[in-house]
Structure 1
Amino acid sequence: MLDHEVTDGMIDAFNAHDFEKAAGFFSPCGVYVCPGGIAEGREQIASYFALYLEGFPDITLTPTSKGVCGDLTVMEWTVTSTHGGPFLLPDGEVAGPTGRHVVVRGCDFRTMDDDGLIASQRVYYDQLEMLSQLGVERITR
């Protein structure tokens, strides 16, 4: 599969909230790493994506730029959504729905396997920016 087919297919599936299909663009042993944790394998990755939907039922990911160098793909994106459900905070507490609209910028780095599927995806975004938009006043560690 070509990189742009993987990128476009995964984004389309994610935005349609078809997380099993989105996880199908990962290698069977693929790894997804983000500030909230690590998911390994398609089943865990699909479950992890579903957690986003629980807290943000209208979540949409919009790519803003992309670069490819060998088996590494870098993509900048914006996520928009309304906080409509429970969301796990970094300190282990759960933020109940606030109804606030959030716009979060981030990027991810992906490596591809020999079959053209995602071997690993590492996601980075400004957690403080997101938590501020949600109205979370303090974060303890």
Structure 2
Amino acid sequence: MAVATARELKDALFEAINDHDLDRVLECYCPNAVYVTPVGVAEGHEQIAWQFEHLFEGFPDLRIAAWYKFAPDEPAATEYTLVGTHTGPFLLPDGSVVEGTGRRIAVRGACACSTENGLIITDRDYYDQLELYSQLGYRLAPVPVP
């Protein structure tokens, strides 16, 4: 992959995500890259692949649309909307799996990546988990006070 800037690399990553092309997704990351999301931290290709495989399985029509891009140099920052239909299993942070609900999601997020030698070395992705889970039909429940 001959990519000159962090911005071009992030755009190539979004294209690979939209195509659900895991090989191209991983080509954007260096082998020991760190990918940080509200779900957790993935280190290296194996863990990053696992996160994207799971996302693609839970939302087979998943698309990411960048609507604000900023990259004067490093990092490449992007605001986006993630849309899709939840038709497959989706892992929740507590380790439980939610089977497909058929619900559509449209979740706003922002991310920033830093690159080195034409590959992403750190990628931080932030979105509102409450917005996502609410759209999937989940609600907050109070935790009993001991």
Instruction: Give the TM-score taking structure 1 as reference length.
Output: 0.90
SS in 2 for 1:105: strand
Gaps of 5+ in 2: none
- How big is each residue's C-alpha offset from its partner over 1:83-128, in whole Å with a ceiling of 9 and x where there is no partner? 1011122333222211000000001111111x12111001100000
Alpha-carbon deviations, 1:3-46, whole Å to 9, x = none? 23312221111111111211111112111110112211223212
Task: Specify whether residues 139 and 59 from structure 1 end up closer, same or farther in structure 2 by C-alpha distance, changes over 3 A only.
Answer: farther
Residue type at the aligned position of 2:128: D
1:7-86 to 2 correspondence within 5 Å?
7-86=10-89
Q: Which amino acid aligns with 2:4?
A: L
Residues in 1 aligned to 2:139 and 2:8: alpha-carbon distance in whole angstroms? 41
Identity %: 42
Structure 1 counterpart of 2:81, one-letter code: T
Pairs aligned (count): 140
- Extract structure 1 runs of 4+ deviating beyond 4 A: none
From 1, 8, 15, give the equivalent of 1:5.
8
Q: 1:5 to 1:129 in 2, by over 3 A?
A: same
- CA shift for structure 1 position 71: 2.2
Q: Structure 1 residues 140 and 55 mapped into 2: Cα distance closer, same or farther (>3 Å)?
A: farther
Counterpart of 1:122?
Answer: 124
Structure 1 pair 138/30, CA: closer, same or farther in 2 (3 Å)?
same
Unaligned runs of 5+ in 1: none
Partner of 1:111: 114
| C-alpha RMSD of matched pairs (Å) | 1.7
CA spacing shift, 1:140–1:124, aligned 2, 3 Å: farther
- SS state at 2:71 partner: strand
